[in-house]
Structure 1
């Protein structure tokens, strides 16, 4: 049966199954919050997420994951997951913000996106230049090649506000010093993050967020996950892969032989078709509350689940007895 037909039957339950996957990773990694051991936190998230996928009614292939087969024991690119069902591509970040979790800082979260097979950009583990604004704005408002001053001016006009009332979010990196300085010179506020640019991209698309625009460069795999989320809420996003040497260019070309690897990427170049996205907070941040332990065997989680076809955004609070869950540990 074609994916589009079968999906109409399974999508509502599938959304809840996705939440269980991100909840599993969040609860397991949260046990390492503030312990200074980012690799242990990441390993716990990977293990729990991989185990939870065994119950999801899909025939999934990881296209954005923990690395190549020889680099990661599970959730590696090309790994097959799921209990059987419609063929789908999977993009995962079992723990975005491993340092944030290790240091008990805001915005660590776990995330998964699903799309029909072939509908996610196969992005190598390099940097991507990104620009994101929210929904209900004029089409083609943003242009990655436009000066940030012009982008802020156009965004302010579209929102009926002054540039001084806008907040741009960016990662606090040396490579962004000029971008940050120019945005401030134009009059905008700038919110700086140490890690976690997917959360920032989503925040730029949420009505009650303080973020109006996300700009700068971060990981390309995270760019695909951000694109999936932005698709679900009707925002706008552009991206471009940033290469350091010819070997990276050839790697990107091998993933999409018929495409120019240096091209400017539109939102649908990164995430096409009907997309589902789920994320669960590990530490509290701008988008989600973190895992909160309420007893020796209980925890509460806060998740967001979105679907591009309906545009529905759900915030879900889960209450768990993880002593009965095989994927959870403290």
Structure 2
């Protein structure tokens, strides 16, 4: 199997920086499509200069007239290693459109043919915990049982735990179960990649991520979880009849429990994320008049290195050498 021979993590950070800088102009303007298109265009142009032979496995659907990096699209110059690519130019398009925190731009890369292809699956039930609780979780067990075991593994009381949950009607029962056992809840309207990252990041106040979010986002999260440590269990969780029928027709067993190691079958991984709207995870883009400041995280799987970076961008000099529309 051909694998990347260099550290792509910093190159990928430039990709997410470009997407964040381009999309941040649309913060709070109520137009999520334009914000997403700005990020997609910047990300695609940034990828065009990378020496990789990349195929989008986790993208934004089939190719059509919408602004997206579509599943199966080829990225890079074609001269480098063959890799699977997962992208989310704006995770949290509604967060960006309405000026809410925690919109981020995300990219993950793995050797070719190692990344789980979600096929017709859109939704996935997830349970993410830090390394200390990796061996005690069971996604099929009641929430209270899991939280009791997680608290013990982390040497905490249950009422010390903070659980990330998406604030969706489908989670009404889950929220009741968490409250009944006494754990604290942090409700977020969107952004389950952020929730997964926060659950395994020792700098975060989040201890656990629970609930159903996007399947593509689950695969992207698995890349970071493998690098950062921690554990993820997931099951495909169709939310409509059409999705369920498509999974049945594709012969996919929704009862199977997936782990982070099944969602991405390699340690030779790269991951980058840059904040767009700011918040509790990564600071957002700050425009300075002459340029901007961004905050990113960059990871390499083989070394386990995680970098948190502040970058100062000077538009006057940057635009002389860059084709990416930063402003």
> Pick from 195, 199, 218: which aligns with 2:194?
199
| RMSD of equivalent CA atoms | 1.8
- Distance in structure 2 (CA, Å) of the matches to 1:245 and 1:161: 38
Counterpart in the other structure of 1:126:
122
User: Counterparts of 1:10-49 in structure 2 under 5 Å?
Assistant: 10-11=6-7, 14-49=8-43
Deviation at 1:308?
2.2
Runs of 4+ in 1 over 6 A off after TM superposition: none
Pair 1:253–1:52, CA change in 2 (3 A)? farther
Deviation at 1:269?
1.4
Matched, 1:316 2:309: yes
Matched, 1:77 2:74: no
> Pick from 210, 218, 228: which aligns with 1:223?
218
- Distance in structure 1 (CA, Å) of the matches to 2:33 and 2:179: 36
Structure 1, residues 74-127: CA drift from partner, whole Å, max 9, x if none? Answer: 411001010220000000000001111111111000000000111111113511
Counterpart in the other structure of 1:104:
99
- Worse overlay, 301-310 or 44-53: 301-310
Structure 1 spans left out of the alignment, 5+ residues:
none
- Distance in structure 2 (CA, Å) of the matches to 1:245 and 1:322: 46
- Worse overlay, 262-271 or 239-248: 239-248
SS in structure 1 at match of 2:262: helix
Conservation of the 8 A alpha-carbon contact between 2:121 and 2:247: no
> Pick from 84, 88, 101: which aligns with 1:89?
84
Pair 1:160–1:66, CA change in 2 (3 A)? same
Structure 2 spans left out of the alignment, 5+ residues:
none
Structure 1, residues 245-285: CA drift from partner, whole Å, max 9, x if none? Answer: 66535644787x6x635411111111120221100000112
- Distance in structure 2 (CA, Å) of the matches to 1:133 and 1:193: 17
- Distance in structure 1 (CA, Å) of the matches to 2:315 and 2:91: 22
Counterpart in the other structure of 1:68:
62
Counterpart in the other structure of 2:137:
142
